[in-house]
Structure 1
Amino acid sequence: MSTQAVSLRTLRPRTVIPGFGLTLGLTLAWLSLIVLLPLVGLFIKTSELTFARFIAVITSERTLHALQISFGLALVAALINAVLGLIVVWVLVRYEFPFRRVVDAIVDIPFALPTAVAGIALTAIYAENGWVGSLLKPFGIQVSFTPLGILVALIFIGLPFVVRTVQPVLADLNAELEEASASLGASRWQTIWRVVLPSIGPSVITGFALAFARAVGEYGSVIFIAGNLPGISEIAPLLIVIRLEEFRYADATAIALVMLLASFLLLILINWLQRWTEGHGRTA
C-alpha cells in the first residue's frame, strides 16, 4: 500500500456507522424519484404549450383571481397562525392548568383529521343555519361559501405547524434568562421583545413557512366551505382539477408550474429571513 493511500486513510475521519457512499446514493436516488422526477414531468408537460398560450393561460382573469385567493389567503392565514400559535405555545409551556394535556392534544386534531372531514365539519358549523353561522348571520357576516370561509379553513389546518415547531424551542428556553432580564429592570414587554423573541424567532418563521406552504396547496378542507365560485371563492388547486377534468392537461400543468415557482421563491425569501433572524439574534 502506498504512502499516499495510508495518509488519506488516516486523514479521513472514522465514523461509528459506516456506509456514507451507499446511504448518500440511496438518498439522492430516492429524492430524484420522489421529488425531482415529478417536477421534471411538470416542466415537460407545460412545454407542450407555446409561449403565447402559456402567457394566455396564466394571465387569464380566472387564473389570476384563483392564484390571488390561494396565495393571499394562505399568507394571511399563516400570519394569523404565527401570532395566535405563539400565544397558544406560551400558554401550554409557561403555565400549569387543569386539562392542559387535553388542550395540548386538541392542537394535533387537524393533523389526524382527514381534510374532507374537516371541510364538512367547518361548513356545517359556519353555514347560515350552523351553530356559529346562525349567530353571525344577524350581523351580516357570512362565512361559508365566501373567501372568509377559506381563511377559516386555512387557519384550522395551519395552526399545528406553528405550535409544534415553536413549542420545543420555547420549552428549552431557560426561564432564568427572563428572570435575569426582570432583575435588571426590564419590563415584561422588553423581556419578551429582547430576550424571548430573538431566541424563538427562527422557529416562529419556520412554523410560518410550514403553515403557508400547507395552506397554498390545501384542497380537501377548502372545497366544501369555499363554494368554488369562479372569480369569488375559487382556489388555484381546484382550478387545476377542473382543467384536468376538461382534459386540458397542459393548461393544468401551466397553473401548477406558476404555483410551484411562486411558492419556491417565497420559501427562499422566508429561509433568508430565518437566517437573518438567527444571525441578528446572535449579534444582539
Structure 2
Amino acid sequence: MAKNWRFKKHSILPGFGLSLGFTMLYVSLLVLLPLSMIFINTSSMGWADFWATVTEPRVVASYKLSFGAAFAAACINVIFGVLIAWVLVRYSFPGKRVIDGLVDLPFALPTAVAGIALTTLYTENGWIGQFLSFKVAFTSIGITIALTFIGLPFVVRMVQPVLQNLDQEMEEASAILGANRIQTFFRVIIPEILPATLTGFALAFARALGEYGSVVFIAGNMPMKTEITPLIIMTKLEQYDYAGATAIAAVMLIISFVLLLLINGIQWWTNRKFVHN
C-alpha cells in the first residue's frame, strides 16, 4: 500500500496568517483610519447643521460640476485612450517610443504646473484659445479638459497590455468566417478589452473627482459656476471650519464609493457574461 506523503510548500513570503495581518494593518493605517476620521469629525455636527452644510446651493452646484465634469472627462478618455492604445500596439512609426512615454507625463507632472500650462493655452489670448470662437478657460469646458488631461494615462495603460496579448489570429479567423472589420471589432476585440476599459474608466473617474491642482487655475473658481467641490473643502479648511469640510468630504466619499461599486459590479457582470459565452 503506497503511502501518501505530504510535503510542506515553502513560500518566499510569510504564511497566510502573518501576511493577512500585515495587510490588514497596512490598509487600516493608510486607508481605513484616515477615512474614518472624516466621519468622526462629521459626527460632531448635529443632523440639522450637517444637512444645511451639504445641501447649501453653492455646495450642490459644486457637486454637479465635479461629478459631471469627472464623468465627461472619463468618457472622453475611454474613447481616445482606447484609440491611442490601439495605435501604440498595432502600428510602428517614427517617434512611437516618445509618444508612448508622453502618455505617462500627467503622472509625473505636478498638477499645479499642468493647470498653469492649460490655462496659458486656453485663455482668450492663449496659443489655442485665441483661435476658438468660444471661451474655454474659466468655464466648465476648461475643467473637463484639465480632468481629461490627468486621467488619460489610466485608460491607455489598462487597455494597452490587453491589446498586446490579444491574439491576432482571432481577428484573422473572424475575417475568414466572413465578418467585416466593424463586426470583428465589436464581436472579437471589444469583448476582450471591455473589462480593462471599464477599469480604466473607473480609475480616471476616481482620479478626476479628487483633482484640485490642475483644475483650480483653469476653473476661475466662480461660485455657482466653476467652483469644484475640492476647492470648497479647501476653503472651509482655511476658515477653520473642519466639521463643515469633513461633512462635504463625507458626502463626496459616499457618492464616490457607490459609483465605483456600481462600476465594479458592471465590470463583474461583463466578465461573467463573456466568460460564460
Instruction: Provide the TM-score with structure 1 as the length reference.
Output: 0.93
Structure 1 residue 22: Cα displacement: 2.2
Does residue 124 (structure 1) correspond to residue 117 (structure 2)? The answer is no
SS in 2 for 1:156: helix
Aligned pairs, number? 273
Q: Deviations over 1:148-193 (max 9, x none)?
A: 1100000000000000011001110001000100110001111010
Q: Deviations over 1:33-89 (max 9, x none)?
A: 110111111110000111111111111100100011111110010011001110111
Question: What pairs with 1:222-233 in structure 2 (closer than 5 Å)?
Answer: 222-233=215-226
Q: Deviations over 1:108-135 (max 9, x none)?
A: 1111100000000000010111000101
Per the alignment, residue 17 of structure 1 pairs with 12
Per the alignment, residue 63 of structure 2 pairs with 67
SS in 2 for 1:101: helix
User: What is the CA–CA distance in structure 1 between the aligned matches of 2:129 and 2:8, rounded to whole Å?
Assistant: 64
Structure 1 residue 18: Cα displacement: 5.0
Question: What pairs with 1:34-113 in structure 2 (closer than 5 Å)?
Answer: 34-113=30-109
C-alpha spacing 1:86/1:62, structure 2 compared with 1 (3 Å): same
User: What is the CA–CA distance in structure 1 between the aligned matches of 2:53 and 2:87, rounded to whole Å?
Assistant: 47
Per the alignment, residue 159 of structure 2 pairs with 166
Does residue 275 (structure 1) correspond to residue 271 (structure 2)? The answer is no
Question: What pairs with 1:186-205 in structure 2 (closer than 5 Å)?
Answer: 186-205=179-198
SS in 2 for 1:38: helix
After TM superposition, the runs of 4+ consecutive aligned structure 1 residues lying more than 6 A away are none
Unaligned runs of 5+ in 2: none
Overall identity of the aligned pairs, in %? 56
User: What is the CA–CA distance in structure 1 between the aligned matches of 2:79 and 2:153, rounded to whole Å?
Assistant: 13
Does residue 143 (structure 1) correspond to residue 139 (structure 2)? The answer is no
User: What is the CA–CA distance in structure 2 between the aligned matches of 1:13 and 1:224, rounded to whole Å?
Assistant: 59
C-alpha spacing 1:68/1:25, structure 2 compared with 1 (3 Å): same
Instruction: Provide the TM-score with structure 2 as the length reference.
Output: 0.96
Unaligned runs of 5+ in 1: 1-6
User: What is the CA–CA distance in structure 1 between the aligned matches of 2:89 and 2:204, rounded to whole Å?
Assistant: 21
User: What is the CA–CA distance in structure 1 between the aligned matches of 2:197 and 2:92, rounded to whole Å?
Assistant: 23
Structure 1 residue 19: Cα displacement: 1.8
Per the alignment, residue 243 of structure 2 pairs with 250
